[in-house]
A and B are shown apart, each in its own frame.
Chain A
Amino acid sequence: MPEARPSAELTNRVGLHARPSVKLTQIAKRFSARIEIATSLDGPWTDAKSPVKIMRIKAVRGEILHVKAFGADAASAVAAVVDLVQRNFDEE
């Protein structure tokens, strides 16, 4: 089944450090869809609702975050996550 896999470049200064990770998971949890992110389309894909797992990616500025989601509200979930990254997590 084809799926949209949008991506966004991490442009905030610190990358996926603690605070951005917490924000990302809080946004992800608003949706019922299963949401996963990865720094490569080949994976590994990480559960976007787990702050521990998101922080372990240790993604830094300049890396591309790929986002995919499965479920009824998948499209809006992906859009919300991409939007957060593009807004630099509202930090800068």
Chain B
Amino acid sequence: MASKPNVGVVIVSHSSKVAEGTADMVRQMVGDAVPLAAVGGNPDGGLGTHMTLVLAALQKAWSEAGVVILVDLGGAETNSEMAIEMMAPERRDRIVICNAPLVEGAVMAATESSGGSPLEVVRHAAEELMAGR
């Protein structure tokens, strides 16, 4: 099988515990074939999200196949959008924020990614959770 890079998954929560716990679930259920990074909390160790932490996560999980971001509440999304803007221009259009629940979306996206699916298919796998319930 040709070794094509898998789409990366970034988890952004207001809580470091939620972020780490979600990443644990992804690793245990899906394995290590997917670039993965999880951030939560602000730099002082409190609840919140911070653009520079999200940016570091995007760089850590970067894949030439692209990256999907799973977020929990409002600030996680706006800080993710700002972090995307800080990425190199040629990478920005390969980073998408999924409209999906954080934990389930991360597991579904990683599952899809681990099979080598392209960015839009990985995003769809996460967002499919919200459709047709």
Contact = CB atoms under 8 A, between A and B. Distances in A.
B29 A22 contact: yes
A26 B125 contact: no
A69 to B, nearest CB: 16
Interface string B15-54: 0000000000000011100000000000000000000000
B128 interface: yes
Most chain A beta-carbon contacts within 10 A, residue among B108, B111, B114: B111
Interface residues of B, number: 14
Q: Interface size bucket, A side?
A: 10 to 19
Interface in B94-133: 107-108, 111-112, 114-117, 125, 128-129
A26 B114 CA distance: 7
Interface stretch (A1-9, A37-45, A48-56, A78-86): A48-56
A29 B33 CA distance: 14
B115 A25 contact: yes
Contacts of A74: none
B107 A22 contact: yes
A65 B110 CA distance: 25
A73 B69 CA distance: 34
B24 to A, nearest CB: 13
